[in-house]
Structure 1
Amino acid sequence: MKQGNPKNIEQIADNAEIYYRQGKLASAAALCQEAIKINPDCYPAYKTLGDILLAEGKIKPGVRAHTRAIALQPEPERANSYWQLGNILAEIEEFYGAIACYIQALQRQPDFASVYRDLGNTLTKLGLNEEASKCYRQKLPLNLLVQFSQSAKDWATSCQYPQRHKMTHIPIHPPGKLYLSPPKTPDGKVLGHFCLSELELSETFVGVLENARAWASYYTIAVFTSENKLLKKVSSGNFELIASSPHLPPPRQLDGTVAFLSVRWGSTYFHWLSDLLPRIELLRLSGIDLADIDFFVVNSHDFSFQKETLSQLGIPKTKIIPSSQFPHIQAERLAIPFLHYRGGQWVADFLRREFLPKSGIEEFSETRRLSLEQDLLIDSICRGSTAHQHLSIAIDRVSPVGQSQYIYISRSQAGMRRIVNEEKLIDALVLLGFQAIVLESMPFSEQVATLAAAQVVVAPHGGGLTNLAFCRPGTKVVEIFSPDYINGCYWLLGHQVGIEYYYFLGETLEAKEADSPEQNRGDRDIWVDVPSLLDLLEFAGV
């Protein structure tokens, strides 16, 4: 069919949108049909027509029109359009149609955080609270994926048959146990989160595959054999979504030997240090020479701590492939180190051996101090007024770190779990000899040096406490929690180092714009009863 003047069609579609917004639905629909008759591939006309039909309560025709509009878009834009359509359907309480759209969006963009949130909200309205809770944690329930995606249903059916793969398995550490002692408390009672007496540790190994494929993104890791079979053992997160999606970008081909180091949440400080970097040690222990590896796949290579740690471990920048840019890869030979992120004593030993000797624990010269103050000032101005407001806190940390210190780690520059009455808390702690520091303002090596010299550490739960791995045995640590989110990962880490661990429960502010109490419960800011915290410090002998 011969298409009309593009400018005329565009004008017709624009007028249809104007009429729709004015509530003139019949006139708007007529213009949409006119534009489509002239050009059957007119995306704006189909989209507006879909909005009109849904507004008139014609659900199925409206969805068909929207689906046709989405099909006319470039593939990278379709995830956002399916998300928007899902929200429209959820608003008119067409919940199952909304779920189908959300899953279409996730099959194209597996890390679409807003989709997980809105899918969770929709499931909550349907009373599917267990499934909703998983979505709020960015985990797509398999039963939903199979129910609303034919490709996922076909994949699940194929998985019912026995699968074999040819992966070379190089064992490193056998399964073991980490024996635990409870935190010290004034009344001798501890929360259930800290009642474990031992923790099962999984084996570690390096797997080697020929002509393998892998996907790595913030929420998901998926590894496939040359026969396109998913290896669940070395996959995590929403790997079923990756395995069953026909809409992912094609993989980037990498020749030679590729070390696949990326892990779920691996761009964050905790998972980078405790989960990703130890995989380099597993490669060494497997007998694979790092010099013979052609590429190292890591979650990202954007932050200074990532660049500094990889450089210290001898990984050339030219060999680094960031998953943030290339989530999908195909490797001629793929080496996959495996460990659970609670990897046992050897992880802390590795971090201390590699980074403590290079942390520069010697005292700062006055020249170095002035240089750091200047760098911090420039950096804070670049980040804006909020960072500049806390510059004095950040500069405090450049006093000589070779001396024993009382340290308070501020999360003032973080986007969540901040102490809302921090100024009052710091005023009280300063009287006890504490220094307030902002770890984000410090190079990695100085974070290591500062925590290595600390006698007492007080901090809200957050990634900066990963640096407890560098503390001396006997260091006293008080971790401040929100009652809505208690995670014992740093208590476990403390057992590998020999710290003296205490915890304190603050109070949380209610979420102001949350559609669900579970949606961001772990992110809420914390209010601290300062006298009660001081009592705990007195109990700890501080």
Structure 2
Amino acid sequence: MKKLKSKISNRVKLTLERTIPYRYHYKPIGVHPEGVSNECVRFQNIYTAYENPLKIEDGLFDILSDYDKPDYKSVTTDYNIIELDEGRVFAGNVATVAVISKENKIVGEASFSYKNGDVVPADQNNVFQQKFFPEPEHFDCTVFAMLNGGGGASNYAHYLIDSLSRIHLLKKSGKFDEVDKFLVPSIRYDFQEDALKLLGITRDKIIEGDKVPHIQAKKLIASTAPRDTSVIIPSWVCEFHRDEYLKPEFLNDFDAPYIYIKRSDSGIRNVLNEAEVEEMLSKYGFKFYELRNLSFIEKVSLFAKAKVVVSVHGAGLTNIMFCSTDSHFIELYPDVYILTTYVDLATKVGIDYAYQLCKSSAFADNGGDAQKVHVTVDIPKLEALVKEKVQ
């Protein structure tokens, strides 16, 4: 009931914001020319024509869920750091991030807008439908914008991949030490603040995007989104996280070479016959973990020490990028929810990957419904896979 009330409230709020004019002069008047520097917007190229392939076998690519299946197997992206004098960031709702220049134009590659399941071009950004704008909070300093839309505020995968990874581009630009404040999606969860702290970003340097929807900075620094407008994760994302967090002084010891990640701490994609799955895996020395019970660095350490990982598809599997290159990963897919994210990470790191389709508890033909199903695992098939990996 609480979630329903929140959804209704947010929908009403969004409707009002698009119908009642308020501080309308803050609405952008157009889109800044891509990659073009001027006196108040400056582009610094970090990677030119970065090639980013999706390295998955044809058999898996063919059965990807239609509603989220890319029509490409590789993308090429220019990655930039962008400096804006008196730049603004407006993020009035979960589907919209608009980085706006002093000339009141959107900087497209640093902005984000989501419609009908797709990231849309800058000229279709939802901010152009907005009529209600709160007064921006002014910061008389240099701010680095790390907002990536609604997912980063609560989802582990979106936070690490789409938000935190931008630090790599900032460091490559040589401007990390110039930044006074970091505009992040949220620090409502421990992993968000802990991951920043290990990068030397303390709480006093953080602006919480979910609490400040509109800011203006003396100097705003933004970046190209790590995945740009595609679903493919660039190799440099994995390299960045491994370089930053797989440090001996950070890692904890885990005597758990074989691990099964439970989803009983979630209300979606639960394993309906999990007791039988655990009974089988116990024969091979597996240990069982709920990731919510671990700190951020404990999650990193657990996967770094693991030799075999088994789990249903879910955000916690972002930690696959911390596995050693001689480890094995078995991903259990609901047969209505087959996405690229974690096979992409596994192949970018170079670990052995296998998957199994599991019977879903309901039919679904869209991502919203499909992500909520539960699964039943074919235990003999899983055991056959496990035997290959533990011997």
Amino acid at match of 1:345: S
- Which residue of structure 1 lines up, in the alignment, with residue 267 of structure 2? 415
Q: From the CA coordinates, give the structure whose radius of gyration is larger.
A: 1
Q: Does 1:312 align with 2:312?
A: no
Counterpart contact for 2:256–2:302, Cα < 8 Å = no
Offset at residue 324 of structure 1 (A): 1.0
- Which residue of structure 1 lines up, in the alignment, with residue 74 of structure 2? 199
SS at match of 1:419: coil
Amino acid at match of 1:172: I
Counterpart contact for 1:258–1:331, Cα < 8 Å = yes
Aligned mates of 2:162, 2:206 — CA distance in 1: 17
Question: CA 1:520–1:198 in 2, change beyond 3 Å: closer, same or farther?
Answer: closer
Counterpart contact for 1:214–1:329, Cα < 8 Å = yes
Aligned mates of 1:473, 1:108 — CA distance in 2: 51
Offset at residue 172 of structure 1 (A): 0.6
Equivalent residue in structure 1 for 2:167, among 264, 269, 280:
280
CA RMSD in angstroms, aligned pairs only: 3.5
Equivalent residue in structure 1 for 2:60, among 184, 190, 205:
190
Q: Does 1:106 align with 2:14?
A: yes
**Structure having greater relative contact order (Cα 8 Å, sep ≥ 6):** 2
Percent of aligned positions that are identical? 29
- Which residue of structure 2 lines up, in the alignment, with residue 241 of structure 1? 126
Aligned mates of 1:254, 1:161 — CA distance in 2: 23
Equivalent residue in structure 1 for 2:244, among 351, 354, 363:
354
Counterpart contact for 1:206–1:337, Cα < 8 Å = yes
Offset at residue 165 of structure 1 (A): 7.0
Q: Does 1:298 align with 2:184?
A: yes
Compare the two structures and name the one with the higher strand fraction. 2
SS at match of 2:343: helix
TM-score normalized by the length of structure 1: 0.60
Offset at residue 442 of structure 1 (A): 0.5
Q: What are the equivalent positions in structure 2 for 1:88-99 lying under 5 Å apart?
A: none
- Which residue of structure 2 lines up, in the alignment, with residue 485 of structure 1? 337
Q: What are the equivalent positions in structure 2 for 1:88-237 lying under 5 Å apart?
A: 105-108=13-16, 159=30, 166=38, 167-179=41-53, 181-183=55-57, 189-192=59-62, 198-216=73-91, 217-237=93-113
SS at match of 2:81: strand
SS at match of 1:274: helix
Equivalent residue in structure 1 for 2:304, among 452, 463, 467:
452
Q: What are the equivalent positions in structure 2 for 1:30-49 lying under 5 Å apart?
A: none
Question: CA 1:162–1:452 in 2, change beyond 3 Å: closer, same or farther?
Answer: closer
5+ residue gaps in structure 2?
A: 65-69, 115-123
Aligned mates of 1:527, 1:208 — CA distance in 2: 50
Question: CA 1:484–1:248 in 2, change beyond 3 Å: closer, same or farther?
Answer: farther
Q: Does 1:322 align with 2:208?
A: yes
- Which residue of structure 2 lines up, in the alignment, with residue 115 of structure 1? none
SS at match of 1:510: coil
Aligned mates of 1:510, 1:461 — CA distance in 2: 16
- Which residue of structure 2 lines up, in the alignment, with residue 336 of structure 1? 222
Counterpart contact for 1:107–1:248, Cα < 8 Å = no
CA-to-partner distance for each residue in 1:270-300, whole Å, 9 max, x for gaps?
122222222112112112142x322110000
Amino acid at match of 1:307: E
Aligned mates of 1:355, 1:160 — CA distance in 2: 37
Equivalent residue in structure 2 for 1:533, among 335, 360, 382:
382
